[in-house]
Amino acid sequence: MTVTQMIEETGLARTSLRQQVDRLMGEGWLDRDRRHGQRGRPADVFSLSSQSRHLMAQQTGELAHALVEEIAHQDGESKLKSIVDGIGQRMLGSLRSVVGEGPPADRIQWLADWFAERGALSSVTRTDDSVTLTMHICPFHSVSGGRRVICEMECDLVRELVGAETQLRCCMHDGGTRCGFEVQLNGNGSEAM
């Protein structure tokens, strides 16, 4: 895809997308090719590198999805929720050091950076009274199989990590192209709970 195509697909600003592409290229996740059209400058076209294709082939999303389905089938949705909540608590313990202390707006940026380091395309936008973490590639989408219990766990995780009221404003499971977590702030960037 070209940068313009990626912008159309993700909704990211050109600068944010370019930063992500440059980082992914530097880490060996993407390859760049130049394509000459009939007129104008050649276009940069980006694709997954052979290294990233190899790593993605090793992903365990399909197995994790099958496990989620089997738990729900054998033990019911309430047991699945209990297990997913437990997983969220374990993740919370390990992620607390990632986001550290500080205002929620800073914490959510640190969280976005952590996701980005793991290949999840994310962005942070801020208004006077809120900050939104948008996951352009949801790290749990293939696992959840359309079950909102995973999305709810992720929202609870963000809420606990940033220390402020958080709501899931858009979700891929609802037909959206991305997942967005809105964190409510007061005027100085601290929590509004």
What confidence tens digit (pLDDT) does each residue in 20-76 have?
A: 889 888 888 888 888 876 677 888 888 888 777 666 555 566 778 888 888 888 988
More reliable by pLDDT, 5 or 118: 5
Which domains does the chain carry?
Answer: 3-57 (no CATH), 61-184 (3.90.1520.10)
Quickly count: other Cβ atoms within 10 Å of residue 12's Cβ: 22
DSSP percent split of the chain into helix, strand, coil, nearest 5: 55, 20, 30
pLDDT band of 131, cuts 50, 70, 90: very high
Whole-angstrom distance, CA of residue 72 vs CA of residue 81: 9
Query: Structure tokens of 157?
Result: 């995780």
Predicted local confidence at residue 83, as pLDDT:
92
pTM assigned to the model: 0.65
H/E run at residue 169: strand 166-170
Please name the residue that has the structure tokens 């996951």.
Answer: 135
